Amino acid sequence: MASGSGRRGAFEFTGGWREFAPIAFSNLLLSAVTLGIYVFWARTRERQYLWSRTRFIDDRLEWTGTGFELFLGYVFAFFLFVIPFALLNLLLQGILMRGHPGAAAVLGLFLYLLLMYLTGVAIFRALRYRLSRTFWHGIRGGADSQGLAFGWSYLWRTVTGSLVLGLLIPWSMTSLWNERWDAMSFGPHRFDSNASSDRIFLKFLLFYLVPVIVFIGSVVAAALVAGFASAASAGDPIDPRAMGVILPIAMLLIYGFALGLIAMIYYAAYFREVVGNLSLGGLEFEFDAQTWDWIRLYLGNIGLTIVTLGIGRIFVGYRNWTFFIRHMKAYGELNLDDFTQSTTRLPGQGEGLLDAFDIGAF
């Protein structure tokens, strides 16, 4: 009987950045020497290390994917999707230059919807591939679905979520998360996801307050500047033209900062909601990262990249992985005697579409 031992101790990362550094720097060197071709094998080495240093309950994870699988998936995606998309884009420009804006608009809309559909397929198949190459106690995960139906769901739910001034975006995000994870399994058990947008909707509404607050602040600041300018002495005048440049820039910076902060508040709540309502067999999961934890992660990644002139990006994957493992909790029980091997089909290629569309990493 395997147990999560309450809400603590189910996940543990036992590695360190000093141990990871030789892998990261050698990956960077080999990727540069091979003009980027080695990046697929570099990603595999990185995952092998991170998985092998991650303990779940009573055993370590194992990554069994290969660099050739990732490379093959990218090549397939490149020739089957990227090149045709480039040719269609040239056709679109040609139609537009010939003076047929209506036909160009229709073709452009078609390309946009097709790209959105393929993005959904890529997101689904990437998760399916990663679960199929992740082993625990010699048992793997996976999914029977190829992700084609999820691509349609991703398309119409994303479009629908943008309706009504975007107020349905939380519903779109949580319902897509539920559908994707409900299709996944690990060993003989299927994941069960029951996330709801109701509990995070109020935090999403904060986005609508930012423009209002910034507008009111702009009006007040403009009034103050005008007052100071009129009251200034002849010997110490305030140049209204300079303030007319400084004030919009300042308000734009404030707007960007406030919007970024609210995005972090919402995403932190979203991730706690979706992970906290995910279960597998007798296990239930929890993610306890708060807004400040996410801010520190992103600021740390940005700062590391800037200070090292971009070289520090080789540690971003390590930081992201350790962040998720540190904040991931599980509780409940799994009976290892009944934990049989997954019967789902093993995908033959890696995250080709995900890489080709540059959607994400881990």
Domain ranges of the chain: 2-195+277-356
What is the predicted pLDDT for the residue at 218?
A: 65
Sorted by sequence, the CB contacts under 8 Å of residue 213 that are 6+ apart come out as: 258
| pLDDT mean over 117-123 | 90
> Among 29-43, 49-63, 182-196, 228-242, where is mean pLDDT lowest?
228-242
In whole angstroms, give the CA distance from residue 151 to residue 23.
35
| pLDDT mean over 100-129 | 87
| pLDDT mean over 291-309 | 95
Looking at per-residue pLDDT, the higher value among 10 and 361 belongs to 10
Asked if pLDDT for residue 172 goes beyond 50, the answer is yes
- Give me the count of residues in the chain: 362
What is the predicted pLDDT for the residue at 243?
A: 55
Best-predicted range by mean pLDDT (43-47, 79-83, 104-108, 279-283): 43-47
Token duo for residue 352? 């080709």
Cβ count near 10 (within 10 Å): 22
Asked if pLDDT for residue 150 goes beyond 90, the answer is yes
% of the chain exceeding 70 in pLDDT: 83
Return the percent helix, strand and coil in the chain, to nearest 5.
65, 10, 25
> Among 102-106, 192-196, 335-339, where is mean pLDDT lowest?
335-339
Name the pLDDT band for 308 (thresholds 50, 70, 90).
very high
What is the predicted pLDDT for the residue at 98?
A: 79
Cβ count near 62 (within 10 Å): 16
What is the predicted pLDDT for the residue at 7?
A: 45
**CA nearest neighbour of 94 among 84, 79, 82, 108:** 108
The three-point CA angle 275-362-79 to 5° equals 125
